[in-house]
Amino acid sequence: MEIDLIVLIPLLAILGAIYYYITKKNNYFHDKPIPSLATEPLFGSTRRLMMKKTSFSDFIVDIYNKYPLVKVFGMVDTMQPVFVVRDPELIKKIGVKDFDYFVNHRPVFGNNEDSHNSALFSKTLIAMNDQRWRDMRATLSPAFTGSKMRQMFDLIVECSTNMAKFYKDEIRNNGGRAREHEMKDVFTRYANDVIATCAFGIKVDSLKNADNDFYINGKKMMAFNRPIVMIKMIGFRLLPKLMSFFSLDLFDREQSDYFVEIIRDTLKTRDAHGIVRPDMVHLLMQARKGAMKQQREEEDREEVKGFATVEESDVGKTGKGVEMTELELVAQCLIFFLAGFDTVSTCLTFLAYELTINKDVQDKLYEEIRETSKSLGGGPLTYDAIQGMQYMDMVVSEALRMWSPAPATDRLCVRDYVVDDGDRLKFTIDKGTVVFFPVQGLHLDPQYYPNPHKFDPERFNEENRGKIDPCTYLPFGIGPRNCIGSRFALMEVKAIVYYMLLEFSFEKTPNTQVPLKLAKGFAGMRSEKGVFVEFRPRKKDD
Residue 55 near residue 61 (C-beta atoms within 8 A): no
> Rounded distance, CA 138 to CA 116, Å?
21
Residue 527's domain comprises 5-537
Residue 401 lies in a domain: yes
For 439-456, b/e burial (b = at least 16 CB within 10 A) is bbbbbbbeebbeebeebb
Residue 368 lies in a domain: yes
Report the CATH number at residue 213.
Answer: 1.10.630.10
Q: Which residues contact 265 (CB under 8 A, 6 or more apart)?
A: none
Identify the three-state secondary structure at position 535: strand
Burial of 320 (0-12, 13-18, 19+ CB in 10 A): exposed
Residue 542 lies in a domain: no
Residue 295 near residue 143 (C-beta atoms within 8 A): no
Name the DSSP class of 36. B
Domains identified in the chain, total number:
1
pLDDT of res. 8: 73
Name the DSSP class of 44. B
Cβ atoms within 10 Å, residue 229: 18
Identify the three-state secondary structure at position 180: strand
Residue 182 near residue 520 (C-beta atoms within 8 A): no
Residues 256-314 pLDDT 10s: 788 888 888 888 888 887 878 888 888 888 877 765 654 444 455 456 678 888 888 87
pLDDT of res. 117: 41
Q: Phi/psi at 498 (nearest 5 deg)?
A: -55, -55
Q: Which residues contact 250 (CB under 8 A, 6 or more apart)?
A: 109, 110, 119, 121, 229, 232, 233, 236
Residue 253 lies in a domain: yes
Q: Which residues contact 293 (CB under 8 A, 6 or more apart)?
A: 142
pLDDT of res. 297: 45
Identify the three-state secondary structure at position 83: strand
CA distances from 508 to 266, 353, 396 (A): 43, 9, 20
For 350-359, b/e burial (b = at least 16 CB within 10 A) is bbbbbbbbbe
Q: What are the residue ranges in the chain where pLDDT is below 50?
A: 112-117, 294-298, 301
Nearest to 154 by CA among 217, 198, 196: 198
pLDDT of res. 91: 97
Q: Phi/psi at 540 (nearest 5 deg)?
A: -60, -30
> Rounded distance, CA 270 to CA 276, Å?
7
> Rounded distance, CA 435 to CA 430, Å?
10
pLDDT of res. 277: 82
pLDDT of res. 13: 72
> Rounded distance, CA 46 to CA 37, Å?
9
CA distances from 311 to 163, 296, 478, 481, 486 (A): 31, 10, 9, 11, 9
Residue 242 lies in a domain: yes
Residue 162 lies in a domain: yes
Question: Is residue 347 annotated as involved in ligand binding?
Answer: no
